[in-house]
Amino acid sequence: MGSLLAYELYYKIYNENAKMPKHMFFSGYKAPGIIRERENTYTLPDYDFMKKVVELGGTPDELMNNQELLQIFLPIIRSDFKILETYNYKEREEKIQCDVSILNGRQDSINLKEILAWENHVCGDFKVHNFEGNHFFINTNVENITKIISNTLVK
């Protein structure tokens, strides 16, 4: 979801003539223009919704085993799903005007074609960094990702 928010934020900054980023990093999300199968996971009853969330992985056991904490985070997680599942892509004339790096887990459900489609939204340099892991590859590749981000931003 962070990639989608960052993508939309870029255009908000652009439209307000604010200081533009020199580089953007996107992770774990197919290019915005790719048509997605509409799901309504966010409308499921709590038990079914959380079952689906757990199937996706990345949900800490501490959250799932604590009903009080779960009741706090459930509306937040559900809202995240609603944003993703109801997002309507708006084609823009202007491409992203800075360099872009895509961080991707090799075992994620997003395929290479969906990752490379980000390049259609970029007029600067474009680079894909692949890592071992699924959608939550960041959790097991923190050091490598930190190096890539640091080395990229130093340039």
29 and 63 assigned to the same domain: no
DSSP string, the chain: -HHHHHHHHHHHHHHTT-PPPSEEEEES---TTS------GGGS-HHHHHHHHHHH----HHHHT-HHHHHHHHHHHHHHHHHHHH------SSPB-SEEEEEEETTSSS-HHHHHGGGGGBSS-EEEEEESSSTTGGGG-HHHHHHHHHHHHH-
- Which range of residues forms the domain containing residue 101? 2-33+94-154
150 and 105 assigned to the same domain: yes
In this predicted structure, what is the pLDDT of residue 35?
A: 80
Q: What is the pLDDT along the chain (155 residues), one digit of tens a residue?
A: 899 999 999 999 999 999 999 999 999 899 998 987 778 999 999 999 999 998 888 888 888 889 999 999 999 999 999 999 999 999 999 999 999 999 999 999 999 999 999 999 999 999 999 999 999 999 999 999 999 999 999 97
Question: What's the total number of domains in the chain?
Answer: 2
In this predicted structure, what is the pLDDT of residue 1?
A: 85
102 and 69 assigned to the same domain: no
112 and 140 assigned to the same domain: yes
124 and 52 assigned to the same domain: no
9 and 45 assigned to the same domain: no
Cα atoms found within 13 Å of the Cα of residue 6, Cβ hemisphere only: 16
63 and 139 assigned to the same domain: no
> How many other C-beta atoms are found inside a 10 Å radius of the C-beta of residue 3?
19
